[in-house]
Chain A
C-alpha cells in the first residue's frame, strides 16, 4: 500500500533534503495518510457495528438506569443513583448474585477440569479420532430448549430418571426444583453437559501445538503420564486456559437460559423457584424489566452485572495465571 514519495522540486534546486524538513506535496500527504490510516479504516466497520449495537445500548442502558423508567411509558423522571441505592439494599439482588456465583462455580470449575481431561484423552491416538472429536461437540450443537426439556424430565420429582436411579440405591426422591442445592446441581449439570465438549476442543487444539519432542524427552527421563500432563501439557497451553476461564466467567455470570427453562413457572413468574432459590442475576433483570416493567431498575442490574463480570474476570485472570504458572 505504500506509495513512493515524490519530492517537491519547486524552488530549492535538486539537492536532496530530508523529507521531514520539506513541505510535502499533496501526493506525499496522501501517501502518508494512506499508510497511517488505512488499517484503521479497514477495521472501522467492526467498531461502527460495535458502536451501534454494543456501545450505544450500553451507554443508553446507563442513562436509563439513572431514571425512573417504565418499560412502555418510558422516562418518568431523573432519579440519579436511586436505582443503584435501592439495588444495594435489595435482598433479592444479593440472593440472585449469590445464586449466580454458586452456579458459576459449580458448573465452571468441574467443567474446565473435565474438559482438560477429555482433551488429553482425545489428544492420544484413539481409533476413530474424528468421530470422538465431533462427538464431544454434539451437546453444544443441540438446541438449548431441547436440552432443558430433556433435563427437566431427568430431574423430575415424581417420575424422573435420576430419582429412579437414586431410589435403586435407597436414596429418597429429591425435589430437584424445590431445594437450593439440588436445583443448583441440576442446573450446573445442564451447563456442564452443554459446554464441556466445547472447551475440550479448544484445549485439544492448543495441545496439538505442544512440541512432541518435549514429551519424548520427558518420557525418556522416566516421567509418568500424569507428571507429563501437569508439567508439560498444562503449562504449555496456559494462554488457552486463561482464555477459556475468562470466556466461561463471562458466560457463567450471565447464566439465564438453563435456569429459566428449568423453572416450571417459566417467565410468567420468572422468580427461579418459589423461594428464588435458583434465580440468577439475569433472571432477576428479566423479571424486573419484562414482567414488572421496571426498566430503570432492570438497567441498573445490567450495569452492576457488567461491573461484577469485570471484577470476577480480573480476579479469575490473576488466579488462573498463578495456577497455570505452577509446575
Chain B
C-alpha cells in the first residue's frame, strides 16, 4: 500500500535511474584509483581489502554489501541502465547462468590473462565461470558450497540410530538408504520430522546427476524427458507424502524457529549453511548438531564468482584485485575467518584447512568432510534458464508436502510450467 501508482508503473525504468544514482567507480581527486566491490552476505573481504590498500597506495577500495536476492536484482538493473554497478561484482552460482546470457555487459577476463589462472580451481568451478567454450572468462571463483548432511545427535539417539558421524555416514551410501533411515526414525520418534524440507533433498539428489533440466549438448530443456529429474523428484516427494519433512521454506523465519525447537533431525548442509544452523539453533544446541557425509557421494551447492562489469573505468585494476582476492592464499584466510570453503585444491587440500574442526558441530572435522565431498563430486550441468525452472519444481514439492497434490500431479504441473518458463 505504500507505493504510489506512479511509482509502480514507473518502476522498471525508474529503478534503473535510481540505481544509476549510486554512481560508478570514479576517480578520487587525489589521483587515486577508486574501486568498488559489490558483495552479499559475508565474503570475508574486510580485512583483506585493508591489506590490499596498504600494499597498493594508489588504490582505494569501497565494499558494498546488500542481501543476496536484492544484490542480483540490483545488478541486473545496473547492467540494464549502463551505470551504477560496482567495479567488481559477486555473482552466486545459481544466478550466474542468467548473467552468462548477458556476457557482453561484462569484461572478458581472458583479455587480462585470466586463462593462466585456470589451474588454480577445481575444473568444474572454473567452467561454471566461463562461457563460449571456455573462451570468455566471466568470473573468477570465490568459495564453493560442497555438500554434507547435518544431523542432530540427540534425536538420532532417541530413535536408536548411531550417533557417531562415521557410522551415520555409512547408514546412507545412497538416497534410497536415506529414505529407509527416515522410515526407521519416524517409527521411533513420530513427533519429530526427519528432515526440514523436501526441496533441499531434491536439489542435493539432482545436483549429483550429470544433467538436470537442460541438455549439456545444446542447452535445450529436457526436464520433461530426463528420468533423473523424475527420480529425484519422486524420491524427495515420498518424504513429503509420508509427512517426514517439516514442509519448511529453506532458511526462512519458520525454518529458524524449527531449528530452535529441534523439530527436525537432518538437513542438507553446504559449508556456508553451518553458520545459518548455528545462528538458528542457538548456543544451547552446542554439540547437538554434527556433520556426516551426504548420500550419493559428494556434491556442490552454492559458491560465488567475482566478475567485472564492462561499465567500469578500471578493468585492469579491478581484474588485479579480483585475482588477488580469489588466490588460494586469500581463500585459505577467508575460510579461517568465515568458514566459506575454498574452491581451489591448493587451498582446500592444505593441511591448515583439512585440519579445521568446528566446535559447535561436536568438533566435526569440517575441513576434511567438505574437502572430500568436493573431491568426489560429479558436477551437474546448469542450463541458462536453470534459475527460472528451479522454483517451479520447488513449489511442486511444497504442494506435495502440504498435502495439496499427489506426487504425480505435482510433477506433471511442474513440468508444464517449466516448459513455459524455459521457452
Contacts and interface: CB of A to CB of B under 8 A. Distances in A.
B282 to A, nearest CB: 15
Contacts of A64: 12-13
Interface in A255-287: 255-258, 264-271, 274-275, 282, 285
A178 B80 contact: no
Interface in B373-415: 387-388, 391, 394-396, 398-399, 402, 404
A197 interface: no
Contacts of B79: 72
Contacts of B263: 158
Interface string A273-304: 01100000010010001111101001100110
A264 B404 contact: no
A152 B252 CA distance: 10
B254 interface: yes
Interface of B: 1-6, 8-14, 69-70, 73, 76-77, 79-80, 98-99, 101-102, 105, 246, 248-249, 252-254, 257-258, 261, 263, 387-388, 391, 394-396, 398-399, 402, 404, 421
Contact of A191 (B1, B99, B404): B1
Contact of B391 (A58, A61, A265, A299): A265
B10 A54 contact: yes
A295 B421 CA distance: 14
A178 B404 contact: yes
Q: What 3 A-B pairs come out closest when comparing CB atoms?
A: A57-B10, A264-B249, A274-B398
A254 B76 CA distance: 23
Contacts of A309: 5
Given A153-B257, A290-B73, 17 more contacts: A53-B10, A64-B13, A71-B76, A152-B253, A152-B254, A159-B261, A195-B1, A250-B4, A254-B8, A256-B3, A265-B249, A270-B391, A290-B77, A291-B388, A292-B388, A292-B421, A302-B8
A178 B394 contact: no
A153 B395 contact: no
A293 B6 contact: no
A265 B393 CA distance: 13
By secondary structure, the B interface counts as: helix
A61 B12 contact: yes
Contacts of A266: 69, 252
Contact of B5 (A60, A269, A306): A306
Interface in A190-216: 191, 194-195
A275 B3 contact: no
Contacts of A282: 3, 8
A305 interface: yes
Given A178-B402, A265-B391, A274-B399, A159 B257 contact: yes
B336 to A, nearest CB: 30
B279 to A, nearest CB: 16
6 contacts: A58-B10, A158-B254, A158-B257, A274-B399, A292-B388, A305-B9
B13 A61 contact: yes
A58 B6 contact: yes
A321 interface: no
Contact of B253 (A60, A149, A302): A149
Chain A interface size band reads 35 or more
A284 B121 CA distance: 39
Nearest to A255: B1
Contacts of A299: 12
A239 interface: no
A275 B12 contact: no
Contacts of B98: 293
Contacts of B261: 158-159
A271 B395 contact: yes
B253 A72 contact: no
Given A71-B77, A309-B5, A274 B253 contact: no
A289 B10 CA distance: 12
Given A71-B76, A268-B69, A61 B1 contact: no
A180 to B, nearest CB: 10
Contact of B13 (A60, A72, A153, A156): A60
A264 B254 contact: yes
B11 A302 contact: yes
B12 A268 contact: no
Given A61-B9, A293-B76, A269 B253 contact: no
Nearest to B81: A72
Nearest to B105: A72
Contacts of A298: 12
A320 interface: no
A57 B9 contact: yes
A74 interface: yes
Contacts of B248: 264
A15 interface: no
Nearest to A258: B1
Contacts of B395: 265, 269, 271, 274-275
Given A152-B253, A274-B402, A293-B98, A257 B69 contact: no
A153 B253 contact: yes
A254 B1 contact: yes
Contacts of B257: 153, 156, 158-159
A251 B69 CA distance: 25
Interface centre among A191, A252, A275, A306 (most CB of B within 10 A): A275
Contacts of A194: 1
Interface in A147-194: 149, 152-153, 156-159, 175, 178, 191, 194
A144 interface: yes
Interface in A2-21: none
Given A71-B80, A149-B253, A269-B395, A305 B8 contact: yes
Contact of B252 (A53, A58, A251, A264): A264
Contacts of B76: 71-72, 290, 293
A244 to B, nearest CB: 12
B412 to A, nearest CB: 14
Contacts of B396: 274
A221 interface: no
B192 to A, nearest CB: 12
Interface string A294-327: 0100110011011001000000000000000000
Contact of B6 (A53, A60, A270): A53
A158 B264 CA distance: 12
A106 to B, nearest CB: 14
Contacts of A292: 388, 421
Nearest to A58: B9
A57 B13 contact: yes
B288 to A, nearest CB: 19
B75 to A, nearest CB: 9
B96 to A, nearest CB: 13
B90 to A, nearest CB: 16
